[in-house]
Structure 1
Amino acid sequence: MPTKPLIGRETRLCMSLSARPGNFGTRFHNRLYELLGLDFVYKAFSTRDLEGAVRGIRALAIRGCAISMPFKEAVIPLLDGIAPSAAAIDSVNTIVNDEGTLTGHNTDYAAVVRLIADIDPATPFVLRGSGGMAKAVVAALCNSGFRDGTIVARNAEQGQALATRYGFRWQADLGAAGAPLLINVTPIGMAGGDADALAFPEAMIAASQIVIDVVQYPPETRLLRAAQMAGKRIITGTEIATLQALDQFVLYTGVTPSDAQVADAAAFARAAG
């Protein structure tokens, strides 16, 4: 293993901004820096001053910043530009700082496309959520050939706009909207106030075939546990986080780790909790 330089004045900083920071991304990136001997360090932050935080990224020459809920759309006006991956869905999950020029990207979309590649696009789905991550997931579904889907979102304006943009149905509440593919793209089940809540009723889970939960922390949400107990295939927030974080890592460092190094870093991040 290459020797990682001691932190000094040449060390480059990367970071994340989230309402509820977890440890997965921090440990994933830092483990890869260690494995590859890169002079980088990564730190997670939360903020109530998004504009001030973005000014800090520029002023302090922070190389890159991951953006999580609820900042993925609000950050766009604060940037100098957005890459096609973010412009296509009006959502940013990654900022790259090139000598003071901040460009927004979206690596969530590509991660979801890869993870749903073996699911029959004729499979009907129900998706809960309408925020920035929901845009990435719905765009991935549409561009992967899915046509029979329902977007469930209490925010009528956002939910209807998202459904209309990609040719799906919208409704405000779940009702009886079951489907073989269930996707949670809300904070329901995230560590904190909603940790014990289920994004879908147990009867709906029992009638499904595949359950996707984008929540990253905790790695095993109540929804995922319920789906596993019911014998359903699951796709976890950790799987999505690993793929999208890998793309971020490459954007920040210009280095592509080996599959073995990615697996090592993901296992390290999961084991660390």
Structure 2
Amino acid sequence: MQIDSKTILTGLFASPSFHSISPIIHNNAFEKLRLNYAYLSFEVNKDNLKDAVQSIKTLNMRGVNLSMPNKKEVIQYLDEISETAKLSQSVNTIVNDNGILKGCSTDGKGFFKSLEEEKIFIKDKNITILGTGGASIAIISQAVFEGIKNIFVFKRDKNWEEQKKILDNIASKTNCNIELNSLEDKNILKRKVEESDLLINATSVGMKEDFSLIEDKSFFRKDLIVSDIIYNPSKTKLLQIAEKEGCKIINGIGMLLYQGALSFELWTNKKIPVDYIKEIIFNYFK
């Protein structure tokens, strides 16, 4: 890759940002397609997010991705947001069109594309999802259009009314039933997992060594699919437990790849070379 005075800058605003492989994905794709773009990772949190967003215009960046903890906070600093982003109240991609910053959400579509790659189709099925952060709401917002029957959502006991309002709004625009429950109620959690075909962890706890939310192995059964949207480590404690109990497991690498592919297309109007990038990612985590 050659950097010159005409190179177009893109990047990631996240905290922490050091673990991200997004620069590897995008820079290899730019190079493969011979596009004069570059992708850098920036440490950005709520304390410097406003200034960072302004820098997109100042530096004439083409756009950025956003990860925790910026996906909701960033909305107030944007000029407009897409319909999907409005529904999810979450933005993971900003596109700079001649100084107009538009927020988009590619997380949900990326997640379900990753399931399709694994030959998993969830129409008319039930899912349980842990967490109500930006990625979780994005997945839920897309799930209602994927034909899912019931979505059982579990969250910690804070910001309850705010999150319930968002979920009720999503449910009101679709035929999908969405239930919000407390993550502290293990009995309800166990019952809803038993009713579900897919369990998704969309909290950050998977980045820690232990996973205390689900300690009872009876939560898991062989026909349950367990997904953790975290990709580093590639096999979280939750996935290790689920795999040992015979569940099919899916980490966040596929979601990362496909949400990134959608962002890439928004910035460049080009399709990312998926097979080429997939091989790079898999080799990276060997």
TM-score (norm 1): 0.88
How many pairs were matched up? 264
RMSD: 2.1
Specify which of 180, 197, 201 is matched with residue 170 of structure 1: 180
Shift of 1:52: 0.6
Specify which of 12, 16, 23 is matched with residue 12 of structure 2: 16
2:40 is paired with a residue whose SS is: strand
Q: What does the per-residue CA deviation read over 1:163-212, in whole Å, with 9 as the maximum and x for residues that have no partner?
A: 4332311112241222142111111112xxx3433443342542361111
- Residue identity matched to 1:40: Y
Q: What does the per-residue CA deviation read over 1:206-259, in whole Å, with 9 as the maximum and x for residues that have no partner?
A: 236111111132222111222222221122111100000011111112221344
Q: Name stretches of at least 5 consecutive residues in structure 1 with no aligned partner.
A: none
1:29 and 2:26 correspond: yes
In the other structure, the counterpart of 1:101 is 100
Shift of 1:266: 3.0
2:264 is paired with a residue whose SS is: helix
In the other structure, the counterpart of 2:203 is 186
- Residue identity matched to 1:149: I
Query: Which stretch shifts more, 111-120 or 11-20?
Result: 111-120
Are the structure 2 counterparts of residues 36 and 215 from structure 1 closer, same or farther at C-alpha, using a change threshold of 3 Å? same
Matching of residues 1-273 of structure 1 within 5 Å: 4=1, 6-21=2-17, 22-47=19-44, 48-116=47-115, 118-154=120-156, 155=158, 156-165=160-169, 166=171, 167-173=177-183, 174-176=185-187, 177-178=189-190, 179=193, 180=196, 181-190=198-207, 194-207=208-221, 209-267=224-282, 269-271=284-286
- Residue identity matched to 2:282: A
Shift of 1:268: 5.0
Verify the 8 A CA contact 2:84 2:141 in the aligned structure 1: no
Query: Which stretch shifts more, 56-65 or 194-203?
Result: 194-203
Query: Which stretch shifts more, 68-77 or 208-217?
Result: 208-217
Looking at structure 2, the residues matched to 217 and 53 of structure 1 have their Cα atoms a distance apart, in angstroms, of 25
Looking at structure 2, the residues matched to 195 and 18 of structure 1 have their Cα atoms a distance apart, in angstroms, of 21
Query: Which stretch shifts more, 151-160 or 63-72?
Result: 151-160
Are the structure 2 counterparts of residues 199 and 217 from structure 1 closer, same or farther at C-alpha, using a change threshold of 3 Å? farther
2:28 is paired with a residue whose SS is: helix
2:23 is paired with a residue whose SS is: helix
Q: Name stretches of at least 5 consecutive residues in structure 2 with no aligned partner.
A: 172-176
Shift of 1:162: 4.1
Looking at structure 1, the residues matched to 244 and 73 of structure 2 have their Cα atoms a distance apart, in angstroms, of 38
Looking at structure 2, the residues matched to 63 and 227 of structure 1 have their Cα atoms a distance apart, in angstroms, of 40
Looking at structure 1, the residues matched to 140 and 246 of structure 2 have their Cα atoms a distance apart, in angstroms, of 25
TM-score (norm 2): 0.84
Query: Which stretch shifts more, 99-108 or 212-221?
Result: 212-221
Verify the 8 A CA contact 1:130 1:162 in the aligned structure 2: no
In the other structure, the counterpart of 2:174 is none
Query: Which stretch shifts more, 122-131 or 47-56?
Result: 122-131
Looking at structure 1, the residues matched to 163 and 243 of structure 2 have their Cα atoms a distance apart, in angstroms, of 29
Verify the 8 A CA contact 2:151 2:179 in the aligned structure 1: yes
- Alignment identity in percent? 27
Looking at structure 1, the residues matched to 144 and 48 of structure 2 have their Cα atoms a distance apart, in angstroms, of 34
Shift of 1:269: 4.7
Shift of 1:18: 1.1
Q: What does the per-residue CA deviation read over 1:76-114, in whole Å, with 9 as the maximum and x for residues that have no partner?
A: 110111122312322110001122111111111211232
1:30 is paired with a residue whose SS is: helix
Looking at structure 1, the residues matched to 182 and 215 of structure 2 have their Cα atoms a distance apart, in angstroms, of 16
- Residue identity matched to 1:37: R
Verify the 8 A CA contact 2:113 2:255 in the aligned structure 1: no
Looking at structure 1, the residues matched to 48 and 122 of structure 2 have their Cα atoms a distance apart, in angstroms, of 42
Query: Which stretch shifts more, 198-207 or 10-19?
Result: 198-207
Looking at structure 1, the residues matched to 200 and 238 of structure 2 have their Cα atoms a distance apart, in angstroms, of 10
Shift of 1:260: 2.9
